[in-house]
């Protein structure tokens, strides 16, 4: 089973005209073409606008396609009280399966103690947290490592594994913290291959960051992994098995 760890849901509310969005139906068609069975879906607009409303949107669209969508919520540490409540509502009422955090878009340093109350609450549940990485000053891999070190029970997925400039730090972060998994979107092939060699295929998960990348983006991101010439079992772990375990899908 192929699972994509990183997709965004574009709604009119997102107001991101500079990105070519796609409807959820188009998104699913693209997944079908690429052979992707399930995908993690989270907001884009809720990362910098109303996160509570965006969590409702994600839950509603996931209910329409329950066999395909693994819905994740988001919170905003600048709204601590609301976020604490929202963590519980997302898991218990909306049945969301994890959280996405975007320090750069939401505007907070991921390693600050601003995160502590929220991470303590999240760590009460067995749900993963995916964090955008690679854009200083707030989303650097070693800052994420600092957070992962403080909250060893939480499973952290490092989206983009540091992108083009900070992938070596991303591998270091994963080496230091066994609760960090590296996600493959936005990064070239070489860092993925190096990560397999240095930390092993069981610590890497496939993600596409679609609909960024436009039509064919899923296939391009998948091929980055497929053309590495990995052993079948390594490729299988990266493309779905690892995430399936993280999410307790089996
Ligand atoms: Zn993204």
Q: Residues 31-64: pLDDT tens digits?
A: 999 999 999 999 988 888 899 999 999 999 999 9
Which runs of consecutive H residues, i.e. helices, occur in 177-241?
189-199, 217-226, 232-236
Which runs of consecutive H residues, i.e. helices, occur in the chain?
24-34, 51-64, 80-88, 103-106, 116-122, 141-150, 167-176, 189-199, 217-226, 232-236, 242-246
Q: Can you give the length of the chain in residues?
A: 250
Is the separation of the CB atoms in 132 and 155 below 8 Å?
Answer: no
- Compute the distance from residue 10 Cα to the ligand 1 centre, in Å: 11
- Compute the distance from residue 6 Cα to the ligand 1 centre, in Å: 6
pLDDT tens for the chain, 250 residues: list them. Answer: 999 999 999 876 566 655 556 789 989 999 999 999 999 999 988 888 899 999 999 999 999 999 999 999 999 999 999 999 999 999 999 999 999 999 999 999 999 999 999 999 999 999 999 999 998 999 999 999 999 999 999 999 999 999 989 999 999 999 999 999 999 999 999 999 999 999 999 999 999 999 888 888 899 999 999 999 999 999 999 999 999 999 999 7
Query: What whole-number distance in Å separates Cα of residue 186 and Cα of residue 203?
Result: 17
Angle at CA of residue 71, ends 78 and 235, nearest 5°: 110
- Compute the distance from residue 41 Cα to the ligand 1 centre, in Å: 10
Domains recognised in the chain with CATH numbers:
3-246 (3.20.20.140)
pTM, two decimal places: 0.96
- Compute the distance from residue 225 Cα to the ligand 1 centre, in Å: 18
In 87-220 the beta strands, taken as DSSP E runs, fall at 99-101, 129-132, 156-159, 180-183, 204-205
Angle between helices 167-176 and 189-199 (to 10 degrees): 20
- Compute the distance from residue 164 Cα to the ligand 1 centre, in Å: 15
């Amino acid at each position: 089973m192929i699972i994509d760890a990183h997709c965004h849901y574009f709604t009119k509310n997102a107001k991101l005209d500079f990105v070519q969005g796609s409807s959820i139906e188009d998104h699913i068609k693209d997944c079908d073409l690429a052979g992707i069975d399930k995908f993690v879906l989270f907001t884009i607009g809720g990362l910098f606008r109303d996160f509570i409303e965006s969590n409702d949107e994600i839950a509603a669209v996931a209910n329409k396609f329950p066999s395909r969508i693994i819905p994740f919520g988001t919170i905003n540490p600048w709204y601590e009280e609301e976020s604490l409540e929202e963590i519980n509502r997302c898991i218990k009422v909306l049945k969301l399966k994890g959280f996405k955090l975007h320090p750069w878009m939401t505007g907070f340093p991921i390693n600050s103690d601003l995160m502590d109350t929220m991470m303590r609450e999240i760590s009460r549940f067995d749900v993963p947290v995916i964090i955008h990485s690679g854009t200083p000053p707030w989303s650097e891999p070693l800052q994420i490592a600092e957070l992962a070190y403080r909250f060893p029970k939480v499973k952290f997925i490092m989206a983009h594994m540091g992108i083009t400039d900070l992938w070596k730090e991303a591998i270091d972060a994963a080496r230091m913290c066994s609760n960090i998994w590296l996600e493959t979107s936005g990064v070239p092939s070489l860092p993925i291959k190096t990560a397999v060699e240095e930390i092993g295929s069981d610590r890497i998960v496939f993600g596409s960051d679609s609909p960024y990348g436009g039509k064919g983006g899923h296939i391009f991101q998948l091929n980055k992994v497929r053309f590495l010439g990995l052993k079948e079992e390594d490729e299988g772990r990266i493309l779905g098995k690892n995430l399936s375990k993280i999410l307790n899908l089996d």
